[in-house]
């Protein structure tokens, strides 16, 4: 019996379906990969049309014979013989392998990879319009190097091993993430340490990290704080890289953007020799959210004070503007005290 004869006798869905639970998703079937610690995530995709399968986490892939050989821990020749005997039932539990996880690449390597991605991607008219509506000027939308991200093949020539948001399947480097607005997250030297994506599809959340943990060659973003540079000497701190860019642009003062108030620890390495800071976190209507944010802000302020940094807070009428960006855009007056 040869490969073609064996393949004519069994389908890839049958071989895989007797070993893991598959669910139909349109033209494909998905299930947890049995070859790595998938923790129930449906990373394994079966393509009935081409009679192939692929795990998007560990990179394992092949046809029905490959799956049988791998899951039974036998050679391809033995797998073909097994199909020929008409008994392909599982004979033993499948041996799982840990997914090779790369260390996060150096800041230089991350900066180079993200710059390569930025050079290859464009800013769509609708994303540019959205930035203009938020209060950025045309020049600022260019200077910020925002892009319209669409996941897929990475730009040629990049070897982004360990760069969050990149991963490798069968020797090809790919980018992860939902399609959306790409926002570079920079360190004090202007190097891009990570990227956020504002998904085009609202049900995916407001801002996500470009991240690829548990994927071959990938890494987790680590949620670093963004440094938006400006000529002024008064350091501001707000939530989110885009908001920080807007504060720096409109006020002419450098601004840190933490991924969220509860993420304030990430700002500490970027404080430099700041003598004082102005905190400008979102103002919520009185209620549990506001109380929670105030509690976290107060813990942050105490930590800063213990470092000898003078802390002031920007406040404005929460019913007029939620974020400092909204206040700046609508001309809502704010006080710093």
Which residue is associated with the tokens 């391809």? Answer: 76
Residues in the chain: 337
When the beta carbons of 41 and 134 are compared against Zn ion, the nearer one is 41
- The DSSP bridge pattern shows strands 255-258 and 235-239 to be parallel
**Please, what is the minimum distance in Å from the beta carbon of residue 140 to Zn ion?**
43
Q: Which one of 7-15, 54-62, 115-123, 218-226 is the stretch in contact with Zn ion (CB under 5 A)?
A: 54-62
For position 53 contacting Zn ion by CB under 5 A, the verdict is no
For position 35 contacting Zn ion by CB under 5 A, the verdict is yes
Give the three-class secondary structure for 167. strand
- Report which secondary-structure segment, H or E, holds 78: helix 76-84
Beta strands in the chain (DSSP E): 23-25, 28-31, 44-47, 52-55, 61-63, 147-149, 152-153, 166-169, 172-175, 180-186, 192-199, 208-209, 226-228, 235-239, 255-258, 276-279, 310-316, 334-336
Measured CA to CA, the distance from residue 337 to residue 329 in angstroms comes to 21
Choose which of 55, 104, 123, 174 interacts with Zn ion (CB under 5 A): 55
When the beta carbons of 35 and 236 are compared against Zn ion, the nearer one is 35
For position 33 contacting Zn ion by CB under 5 A, the verdict is yes
When the beta carbons of 169 and 242 are compared against Zn ion, the nearer one is 169
**Please, what is the minimum distance in Å from the beta carbon of residue 161 to Zn ion?**
19
For position 36 contacting Zn ion by CB under 5 A, the verdict is yes
**Please, what is the minimum distance in Å from the beta carbon of residue 34 to Zn ion?**
8
**Please, what is the minimum distance in Å from the beta carbon of residue 28 to Zn ion?**
16
Contact 160, 166 (CB under 8 A): yes
Under rule CB under 5 A, which residues in 80-139 are in contact with Zn ion? Answer: none
Q: Which one of 28-36, 105-113, 233-241, 273-281 is the stretch in contact with Zn ion (CB under 5 A)?
A: 28-36
User: How crowded is residue 110: how many other Cβ atoms within 10 Å of its Cβ?
Assistant: 27
Phi, psi (degrees; rounded to nearest 5) at 295: -65, -45
For position 58 contacting Zn ion by CB under 5 A, the verdict is yes
When the beta carbons of 62 and 151 are compared against Zn ion, the nearer one is 62
When the beta carbons of 58 and 324 are compared against Zn ion, the nearer one is 58
Number of chain residues interacting with Zn ion (CB under 5 A)? 6
Please give the C-alpha separations between residue 194 and each of 171, 191, 225, 269, 272, in angstroms, as whole numbers.
Answer: 23, 9, 9, 15, 20
**Please, what is the minimum distance in Å from the beta carbon of residue 105 to Zn ion?**
23
Binding site residues, Zn ion, CB under 5 A:
33, 35-36, 55, 57-58
């Amino acid at each position: 019996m040869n490969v073609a004869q064996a393949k004519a006798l069994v389908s890839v869905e049958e071989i895989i379906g007797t070993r893991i639970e598959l669910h139909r998703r349109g033209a494909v079937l998905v299930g947890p990969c049995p070859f790595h610690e998938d923790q129930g995530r449906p990373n394994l995709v079966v393509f009935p049309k081409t009679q192939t399968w692929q795990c998007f986490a560990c990179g394992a892939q092949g046809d029905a014979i490959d799956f049988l050989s791998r899951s039974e821990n036998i050679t391809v020749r033995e797998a073909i013989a097994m199909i020929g005997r008409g008994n392909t039932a599982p004979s033993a539990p499948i041996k799982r392998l840990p997914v090779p996880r790369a260390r996060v690449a150096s800041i230089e390597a991350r900066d180079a990879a993200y710059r390569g991605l930025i050079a290859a991607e464009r800013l769509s008219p609708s994303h540019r319009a959205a930035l203009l509506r938020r209060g950025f000027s045309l020049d600022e939308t260019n200077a910020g190097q925002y892009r319209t991200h669409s996941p897929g093949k990475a730009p040629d020539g990049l070897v982004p091993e360990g760069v969050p948001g990149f991963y490798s399947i069968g020797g090809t480097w790919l980018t992860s993430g939902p399609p959306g607005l790409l926002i570079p997250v920079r360190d004090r030297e202007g190097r891009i340490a990570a990227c956020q994506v504002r998904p085009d599809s609202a049900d995916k959340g407001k801002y996500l990290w470009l991240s690829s943990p548990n994927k071959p060659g990938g890494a987790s973003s680590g949620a670093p704080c963004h440094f938006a540079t400006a000529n002024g000497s008064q350091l501001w701190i707000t939530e989110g890289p885009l908001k920080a860019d807007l504060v720096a642009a409109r006020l002419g003062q450098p601004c840190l953007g933490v991924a969220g108030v509860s993420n304030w620890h990430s700002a500490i390495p970027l404080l430099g020799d700041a003598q004082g800071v102005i905190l400008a976190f979102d103002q919520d209507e009185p209620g549990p959210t506001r109380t929670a944010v105030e509690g976290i802000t107060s813990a942050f302020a105490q930590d800063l004070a213990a470092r000898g940094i003078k802390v002031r807070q920007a406040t404005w009428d929460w019913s007029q503007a939620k974020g400092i960006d909204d206040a700046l855009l609508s001309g809502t007056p704010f006080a710093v005290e």
